[in-house]
Structures are given as structure tokens and as C-alpha cells.
Amino acid sequence: MAKSKKKRKAKEVEVVERKSFGFFQILLAWIIIPLMFTTAVVLIIAKVADVNVFDQAKEWTSKIPFLEEKKPDEKVEGDLILEERVISLQAEIQEKEAQLFEVQNELSQVKDSNETLVIEKEKLNEEIEQLKIEQSESKRDFKEIVSTYEQMSAKSAAPVITEMGDAEAVQILSSLKPATLASILEKMTPEEAAKYTSMLTK
């Protein structure tokens, strides 16, 4: 009994396997093979007719609404706004760079100008120092000249002073002591004495 049950089950399994195998055979024989054959024939005909099947398929699928591809040159409004913003920022950066370059040029010019002014100032200071030295030497020389005239006799000094230019003569006479000045003026002619006295009072 157990053996017959086992035999029946084995036969049933075999029948089911045969039926399912038969269905796949039918599917393969009646649908898949003819479909593949038809596709091959269509591709050969398209090749002979110089038709690009893949381009045609793309064109047909692009007309189907849910399969339609977005063209690369089509831009979303948000993308356009972002692109405009980027362009605007790039223009602003270029403007700022130009301003920075201009400011750097101005700073460079100011720096060069400052250096030139410092050099000129140093030169002027040197000239001032030189003039001070010359002035002090000139004062010392003038004092020595005045001292010499004070030591000279009035008779010798008067003719020398009258031979000088008026400005130099007045400068020396105004620096002499009053007693020496009086004795020198006494030794001059009245006209010369009057002229120098008039100049000394101005």
C-alpha cells in the first residue's frame, strides 16, 4: 500500500513537470522565437533601407508624455535664476578686482611720492645745516672785520670805509662802538659823514 502511494505521487509529480515544461516549450516556440525572427528581419530591412532604428525609436518614445526626455538646453526657471546670479556675482568680483588694482596703483604712487618727499626733505635739511654753518662762519668773519676796524686808527679806517659800497659801509659802521664810530666820522669829509649818518638813522 505504501509503495502504491509513493508510485502515485511520483507519477503526479512527473505529470506536473511535463505540463510545466510543455508550457515553456509552447511559449518559446510560439512567441519568443517568432518575435526574435521578426526583429532580426526588421533590423535587416532597416539596414538595407538606411534607416537608423535606434534614432526612430528615440523619436517615437520622446512623443510619449511620461517617456519624454528633457532636452539638455531646456532650463528650469530656478537654474536660470542661479545662472543670472552667478553672472552678476562674477561681474561684481571683476569690478571689485579693478577697484582693488586702482587702489593698489594709487598706494604705490603715494608711496613713491612719499619717498621722493623724504629724500627732498633730507636734502633741504642738509642745505639748511650748510647755510647755518656758512652763516655762523660769516658772522664770525664779520665780527672779526668789525673788531679789526675798531683796532684801526680813525684816520686809516675812514678812507677805507668811504671806498666801500654803501650797504657794506653802513653794516660795518652800525656794528662799531659809538666812540669808534664818532672818531671815524670825524675823519671823513662833511658830505660823507652826513651821508653815512643819514643812512645809519634809517
Share above pLDDT 70 across residues of the chain, in percent, rounded to a whole number: 79
Tell me what pLDDT residue 156 has. 81
Cα dihedral value 142, 147, 150, 155, nearest 10: -60
Q: Could you write out the DSSP letters of every residue in 27-57? A: HIIIIIHHHHHHHHHHHHHHHHTT--HHHHH
Mean of the pLDDT values across residues 3-24? Answer: 60
Q: Tens of pLDDT along 140-157?
A: 677 888 788 788 888 888
Question: What does the domain layout of the chain look like in residue ranges?
Answer: 11-69, 125-201
Cell numbers for 36: 526574435
Q: Convert the pLDDT of each residue in 29-84 to its tens digit.
A: 778 778 888 888 877 887 787 777 677 777 777 776 655 555 555 556 777 888 88
At residue 93, does pLDDT exceed 90?
yes
Where do we find the cell 652800525? 174
Average pLDDT, the chain: 78
Per-residue confidence (pLDDT) for residue 112, from 0 to 100: 87
d(CA 91, CA 84): 11
Q: What are φ and ψ of residue 69, in 5° steps?
A: -85, 145
- For cell 660823507, the residue is 192
CA distance 175 to 184: 13
Contact between 150 and 177 (Cβ < 8 Å): yes
